[in-house]
Amino acid sequence: MKTTGGTDDQKRRAGERAADLVTDGATVGLGTGSTAAFAVRAIARAVEEDGLDVRGVPTSFATRELAREEGIPLASLDEVETVDVAIDGADQVDDALNAIKGGGAAHAREKIVDAAAERFVVVADPSKTAATLDRAVPVEVLPDARTTVAARLRELGGDPTLRSAERKDGPVVTDNGNLVLDCEFGAIDDPASLAADLSATPGCVEHGLFVGMADEVYVGTDDGVEVRTRG
Ligand SMILES: O=C[C@H](O)[C@H](O)[C@H](O)COP(=O)(O)O
């Protein structure tokens, strides 16, 4: 379930500008998705061409593969306690820098890495920005809990749909072996309250609401990068 309408040039500008934040010796959270991939490639170029000394912490199988191919030294999630800077994409970002993530079903690991970061930078294109979050919220669930979690999501006013795989029969299975319910809530006026309700639902492994986490959002435009900062 991808919801992107930006251009590659917009995404590239955002990703490459964010990659400039990475300094020598840093532990870097490597986000997932088409926008974060531009940052991953830019970091890899700095490693190869400038001898930048980093270790990357990938947030998904796909990002680990990309970073490995591009030659970024890696550490796995269970080897790090803190991350200096995390650069990650988003499906939607509101004016308060709250985000919906998980269009690629990577939000559980992304949230762990992004929350461990001293500085968490979202990279996006203008199609991702909105005054109020209103896209479907991905909810990763233990497979056996999908029915009870779906019932709870309906109690919370949502309309959940089991995410289907595009190129195989059956559902999407996350990197963690779980399923994803995409839940429409309409306009989300109080993301913090909804996030707390989702986190308190037994069987919900992680949801895609990233509330109060991003320090900055870099929005790539047709001629530059707009930097939005918390506060
Ligand atoms: O699970 C995937 C992630 O949350 C992505 O960061 C998000 O879906 C944005 O991806 P993209 O930059 O490809 O739109």
- 90 contact partners, CB below 8 Å, separation of at least 6: 99, 100, 101, 122, 124, 128, 210, 214, 217
State the pLDDT at residue 189. 97
Please write the tens of the pLDDT for every residue from 148-184: 999 999 999 999 999 999 888 899 999 999 999 999 9
Distance CA 7, CA 164 (A): 26
Annotation-wise, does 34 bind a ligand?
yes
Annotated binding residue 33: yes
Q: Is the separation of the CB atoms in 27 and 54 below 8 Å? A: yes
Residues of the chain with CATH 3.30.70.260: 137-208
Q: Ligand 1 centre and the CA of 154: distance in Å?
A: 25
Judged by DSSP in three states, 15 sits in helix
Name the residue of 60, 63, 92, 101 whose CB sits within 8 Å of the most ligand 1 atoms, as the mutation to test its pocket: 101
What distance in Å separates the CA atoms of residue 55 and residue 69, rounded to the nearest whole number? 14
CA distances from 220 to 66, 86, 128, 165 (A): 22, 17, 10, 29
The kind and range of the H/E element at 64 are helix 61-70
Task: Report the run of H or E that residue 56 belongs to, with start and end.
Answer: strand 55-58
Using 50, 70 and 90 to split pLDDT, how confident is the model at 68? very high
CATH 3.30.70.260 fits domain 137-208: yes
Find the catalytic residue in 110, 140, 155, 206.
110
Ligand 1 center to residue 211 CA distance, Å? 16
Q: pTM of the prediction?
A: 0.96
Beta-strand pair 83-88/27-30? parallel
**Do 180 and 141 form a contact (C-beta atoms < 8 A)?**
yes
Fold of 8-127+212-220: Rossmann fold (3.40.50)
Q: What percent of the chain has pLDDT over 90?
A: 95
Domain with CATH 3.40.50.1360 in the chain: 8-127+212-220
